Amino acid sequence: MKRPAGLARPLGNAVVLGFLALQLGLGLRSLLLEDARLGWGMFCYQTNYTVAYEWVLADGTTLPFPARDLGGRSLKYLADDYAHRTRYGRGAIRGWMESYLGYLLARYRPGAAVGARAVVTYRINKLGEWRTLVVQVPEVAS
């Protein structure tokens, strides 16, 4: 049985072009968002970090509080009582913290608190310089 002329080639080209566009798009996404999930640098580094949680009070002061309701994978990425290692980047850590802080605000916010904050101290690879990432929900314009 003979194939219809001209139909197989454009379909094959579209599949190849779609695959290449996906690879390019995921790679650019990982660079722009500093989030290596599904991107070019997915396994090129290790992020070492610790996290501390704080309630943000109306007068601008903070009140430390321990992590709550963690288990399974969330314990692995969000616990505040030990150091973490992950192959994910800063963008992924920011996303995890934002989600968890939103949950904590909805369930446990004390009356005086206007927000919740996670202070993440991290470095890329073992020899990298220590940096701080502050994630606050709701976000504050800087």
57 and 103 part of one domain: yes
Torsion of CA 91, 96, 102, 108, to 10 degrees: -140
Burial class (CB in 10 A: 0-12, 13-18, 19+), 111: exposed
pLDDT interval class at 28 (50, 70, 90): confident
52 and 108 part of one domain: yes
23 and 83 part of one domain: no
97-124: per-residue pLDDT in tens?
A: 999 999 999 999 998 999 999 999 999 8
**Residue 142 covered by a domain:** no
Q: Which domain holds residue 129?
A: 47-137
Pair 37, 93: CB distance under 8 Å? no
Number of domains in the chain: 2
60 and 128 part of one domain: yes
Structure tokens at 98: 């934002």
26 and 88 part of one domain: no
C-alpha–C-alpha distance, residues 54 and 118, integer Å = 6
108 and 54 part of one domain: yes
- DSSP state string for 25-70: HHHHHHHHHT--TTSTTTTS--EEEEEEEEEEETTS-EEEE---S-
Residue type at 111?
Answer: G
35-67: per-residue pLDDT in tens?
A: 767 776 666 778 999 999 999 999 999 999 999
| Measured CA distances, 52 to 3, 46, 77 (Å) | 64, 20, 12
**Residue 81 covered by a domain:** yes
Q: Which residues in 3-14 are b (16+ Cβ under 10 Å) and which e? A: eeeeeeeeeeee
Enter the pTM of the model.
0.71
